[in-house]
Amino acid sequence: MFKDGNFFTQYGSYYIKGALYTIGIAAVGVLFGSILGALLALMKLAKTRWLRWPANCYIEFVRGTPLLVQIFLVYFGTTAVFGGLNLPAIVAGCIALSLNSAAYVAEIIRAGIMAVDKGQEEAARSLGMTKVASMRYIILPQAIKNILPALGNEFITVIKESSIVSIIGITELMFMSGVVAGASFNAVLPYAVAAVIYFILTFGLSRLLGVAERRMRTSD
């Protein structure tokens, strides 16, 4: 609070730490959310009802409840269910974001798979491929190229939604902005700087995704 220098000299390290936490939490959320989302998508596309029903219930519940409620359920619910188990805030935040992202990624992947022409699978099966092999080598590679923009948008959304995990004490960007606001007695500039950092992160990611999309179109 009493250091000499301008605003960025005094509090720049807070924003750097917060931005690194934000990027890390979002990356973990999208990574594990994509893995779980792919599993849920395949379950929802399965022909057996006992696979479709749990996937449908999970997706509808997660999409129909606020992320803040899900964070509280993970953070406080694990202690209530498992007794003395106390998850660190950073672990609970990553789990909640992963579970939330999985529901949306599942619908993205399901839509991408359904967008692939059915003749592709029929041709693969006619060549002697099993259903699993045709899905792995024929359908999914085409679906991934179709859903890449939507997955990129999900990553951007998770970066912005990660600000909610500050409510359980994770020192990400919004939490650090609150610390700086309290230390500097300035309620506007700290959050304005946070907004600029969020914009830089999301804008930079969208540009990288644009480059990847153009390269994939060139490969076609």
At residue 3, the pLDDT reads: 55
At residue 145, the pLDDT reads: 80
Task: Decide if pLDDT at 207 tops 70.
Answer: yes
Do 145 and 216 meet the contact criterion of CB atoms below 8 Å apart?
Answer: yes
- What percentage of residues in the chain have a pLDDT greater than 70? 95
CA 65, 67, 73, 76 dihedral sign is: negative
pTM of the full structure: 0.86
DSSP 185: T
Q: Which residue ranges make up each domain of the chain?
A: 10-219
Amino acid at 29: G
Options 1.10.3720.10, 3.30.40.10, 3.20.20.110, 3.40.50.2020; CATH of 10-219:
1.10.3720.10
